[in-house]
């Protein structure tokens, strides 16, 4: 991938994205650079998405930004080059399912939409991660978090249903759906009349 766009001798970086920097929407000058290099941008973004989904969850957020922006592309490639030896280690200790749901409320002013992050652990193993824009604009951080917890709950139910097909005994697994917003947790525990 690096050879394909002439970056095999690129300097190394320690993170896939500059900390605290959220790129603006795509810039015409960046787009014209890709055209000048004769790089199939969609193909390259697809490769980064493949890495994020299959083995590199730390590329999920920067790769997600690439769908709207050209700027972080080279930095991600530099990071991939220097971190080729990194990977995920899986070991089986128990079948407890822990699902972490998080939302960033209106983090990008250009869209006013929030993000949902989901992490699913089977025992100590990270087995699923997802980052996505929420489909609608939320009016509060509680609403954004509630949507994230709803998605997390759906994921938890789905994993419970597929575990027997993967030859895991699920007679009484421990299930957790965790969020980080105390008012929202109180709202979720309140029965609806």
Q: What is the per-residue pLDDT across 45-66, written as a single tens digit (0 to 9) for each? A: 787 777 777 777 777 777 766 6
pTM: 0.52
Residues 76 and 9 reside in one and the same domain: yes
Supply the DSSP symbol for 12.
P
DSSP letters for 60-74: HHHHHHHTT-STTHH
Residues 10 and 35 reside in one and the same domain: yes
Residues 57 and 128 reside in one and the same domain: no
In a domain, 88, yes or no: no
Nearest Cα to Cα of residue 179 among 84, 114, 99: 99
User: Of 40-44, 69-73, 112-116, 186-190, which range is least confident?
Assistant: 69-73
With tokens 């890495």, the residue in question is 51
Cβ of 120: how many Cβ atoms within 10 Å? 21
Question: What confidence tier does 10 reach under pLDDT thresholds 50, 70, 90?
Answer: confident
Question: What confidence tier does 43 reach under pLDDT thresholds 50, 70, 90?
Answer: confident
* Number of independent structural domains in the chain: 2
Alpha helices (runs of H) in 12-169, residue ranges in sequence order = 28-36, 41-54, 60-66, 73-82, 141-162
Instruction: Return the structure tokens found at 61.
Output: 């957020």
For residues 20-35, give the mean pLDDT: 63
Q: What digits encode the pLDDT tens for the residues 76-96? A: 878 887 787 776 666 666 677
In a domain, 32, yes or no: yes
In a domain, 164, yes or no: yes
In which domain, by residue range, is 12 found? 3-82
Q: For the chain, first and last CA: distance in Å?
A: 56
Nearest Cα to Cα of residue 130 among 65, 53, 54: 53
Contacts of 189 (CB under 8 A, 6+ apart): none
In a domain, 90, yes or no: no
């Amino acid at each position: 991938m690096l050879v394909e766009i002439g970056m095999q001798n690129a300097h190394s970086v320690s993170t896939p994205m500059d900390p605290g920097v959220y790129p603006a929407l795509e810039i015409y000058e960046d787009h014209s650079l890709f055209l000048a290099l004769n790089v199939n941008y969609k193909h390259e973004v697809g490769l980064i998405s493949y890495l994020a989904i299959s083995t590199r969850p730390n590329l999920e957020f920067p790769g997600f930004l690439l769908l709207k922006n050209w700027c972080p592309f080279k930095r991600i490639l530099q990071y991939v080059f220097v971190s080729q030896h990194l990977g995920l280690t899986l070991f089986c200790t128990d079948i407890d399912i822990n699902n972490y749901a998080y939302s960033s409320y209106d983090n990008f002013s250009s869209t006013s939409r929030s993000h949902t992050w989901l992490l699913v652990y089977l025992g100590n193993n990270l087995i699923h991660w997802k980052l996505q824009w929420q489909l609608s604009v939320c009016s509060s951080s509680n609403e954004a978090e509630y949507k994230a917890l709803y998605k997390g709950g759906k994921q938890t139910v789905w994993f419970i249903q597929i575990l027997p097909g993967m030859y895991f005994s699920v007679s009484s697994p421990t299930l957790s759906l965790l969020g980080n917003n105390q008012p929202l947790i109180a709202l979720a525990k309140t029965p609806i009349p």
